[in-house]
């Protein structure tokens, strides 16, 4: 039966003392011992047999003198240094329970963070993710606001054979005839409630009234996988050489 305070879980290491050697048989110990059996003595990395030295209190006496070139240290077998903290650099990822490190244990802002193109001097709420997983940031807007991403965009030449100049999340552009095109998305939208922004240049010789208009007579002009539009001057469709679209959701 154990009497006394319940000990904490401990990590144990033994106290060690290094000696500065000289031509002598007498040394002083950092920690008192009852006898030589409470310490392990090493000279030139060879453990010495108790009897070749004696110890009592803080006095260590050798049977033969050492020299200044000798390496000598001892380990106090009767003095275990205990701590409830594990030794430095002894804890790895496998010792941590998943989800055990919370934001309270992470120092913000990252004052020692350094990376090319990233400034760690921004305010603490310059970029946040709220409880609904919305990305919010303040990039000169005056306050932090939710960022709504451009999920797809394209710039293409709609004259002759349609040619995409550059795009994002657009797999292809279908030429449906003069001035009519279908933008095909590489990845579908979650629904058809996205916002579309359209711009383009008018064809040569079509006057000054050319405006991009949607082919609203086509019930399938807007879907999760594609978007159809028509450019027209009055009632006449016309090709355009520089057509730009962006889709926000």
Q: Which tens digits make up the pLDDT trace of 145-191?
A: 888 889 999 999 988 899 999 999 999 999 999 888 999 999 999 99
How far from the centroid of its chain's Cα atoms is residue 125's Cα?
18
| Domain shared by 74 and 157, yes or no | no
Residue 231 falls within a domain, yes or no? yes
The angle at the Cα of 236, spanning 204 to 179, to the nearest 5 degrees, equals 65
The angle at the Cα of 22, spanning 18 to 27, to the nearest 5 degrees, equals 55
Q: What is the mean pLDDT of residues 72-84?
A: 76
How far from the centroid of its chain's Cα atoms is residue 238's Cα?
50
> In three state form, how does the secondary structure of 67-124 look?
CCCCCEEEEEEEEEEEECCCCCCCCCHHHCCCCCCCHHHCCCCCCCCCECCECCCCCC
Structure tokens at 82: 């205990």
Of 231 and 70, more confident: 70
pLDDT tens, residue by residue, 125-134: 677 888 888 8
The angle at the Cα of 191, spanning 188 to 197, to the nearest 5 degrees, equals 80
Kindly tell me if the per-residue pLDDT of 214 is higher than 60: no
User: What does pTM read for this prediction?
Assistant: 0.50
Residue 130 falls within a domain, yes or no? no
Three-class DSSP category at 37:
helix
pLDDT, residue 77, reads: 86
Q: Is 57 left (phi over 0), alpha (psi -120 to 50) or beta?
A: left
pLDDT, residue 142, reads: 76
Report residue 213's pLDDT band, with 50, 70 and 90 as the boundaries: low
pLDDT tens, residue by residue, 90-149: 778 888 888 787 777 776 555 555 555 555 566 666 778 888 888 888 877 778 888 888
| Domain shared by 158 and 242, yes or no | yes
Residue 129 falls within a domain, yes or no? no
List the 195-200 sheet strands across, edge first.
163-168, 150-157, 243-248, 195-200
pLDDT tens, residue by residue, 10-33: 556 788 999 999 999 999 999 998
Residue 6 falls within a domain, yes or no? no
Q: Are 10 and 82 spatial neighbours (Cβ–Cβ below 8 Å)?
A: yes
* Domain edge (last residue) among 32, 63, 83: 83
Residue 141 falls within a domain, yes or no? no
Helix and strand numbers (H, E) in the chain are: 0, 18
pLDDT, residue 205, reads: 54
Report residue 39's pLDDT band, with 50, 70 and 90 as the boundaries: very high
* Domain edge (last residue) among 60, 83, 106: 83
Residue 100 falls within a domain, yes or no? no
Domain that holds residue 155: 150-248
Residue 131 falls within a domain, yes or no? no
Closest CA to 153 of 186, 175, 128, 180: 186
Percent of the chain with pLDDT over 70: 75
Report residue 219's pLDDT band, with 50, 70 and 90 as the boundaries: low
- Report how far residue 156's alpha carbon sits from residue 187's, in angstroms, rounded to the nearest whole number: 19
Three-class DSSP category at 129:
strand
- Report how far residue 52's alpha carbon sits from residue 218's, in angstroms, rounded to the nearest whole number: 103
Q: Where are the alpha helices (DSSP H) in the chain?
A: none
Kindly tell me if the per-residue pLDDT of 48 is higher than 60: yes
* Domain edge (last residue) among 83, 102, 126: 83
Residue 110 falls within a domain, yes or no? no
Domain count, the chain: 2
pLDDT, residue 98, reads: 84
């Amino acid at each position: 039966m154990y009497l006394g305070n319940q000990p904490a879980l401990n990590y144990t290491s033994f106290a060690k003392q290094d000696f500065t050697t000289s031509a002598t048989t007498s040394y002083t110990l950092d920690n008192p011992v009852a006898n030589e059996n409470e310490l392990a003595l090493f000279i030139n990395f060879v453990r010495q047999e108790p009897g070749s030295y004696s110890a009592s209190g803080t006095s260590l006496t050798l049977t033969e003198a050492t020299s200044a070139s000798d390496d000598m240290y001892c380990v106090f077998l009767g003095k275990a240094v205990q701590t409830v903290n594990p030794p430095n650099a002894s804890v790895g990822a496998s010792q941590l329970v998943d989800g055990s490190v919370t934001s309270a244990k992470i120092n913000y802002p990252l004052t020692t963070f350094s990376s090319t193109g990233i400034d760690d001097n921004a305010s603490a709420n310059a970029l946040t993710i709220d409880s609904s997983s919305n990305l919010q940031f303040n990039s000169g807007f005056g306050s932090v606001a939710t960022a709504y991403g451009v999920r797809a965009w394209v710039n293409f030449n709609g004259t002759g054979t349609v040619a995409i100049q550059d795009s994002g999340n657009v797999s292809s552009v279908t030429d449906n005839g003069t001035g009519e095109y279908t933008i095909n998305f590489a990845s579908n939208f979650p629904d058809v409630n996205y916002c579309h922004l359209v711009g383009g240049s008018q064809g040569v010789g079509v006057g000054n009234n050319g405006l991009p208009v949607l082919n609203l007579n086509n019930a399938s002009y807007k879907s999760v996988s594609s978007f159809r539009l028509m450019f027209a001057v009055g009632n006449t469709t016309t090709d355009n050489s520089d057509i730009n679209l962006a889709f926000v959701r």
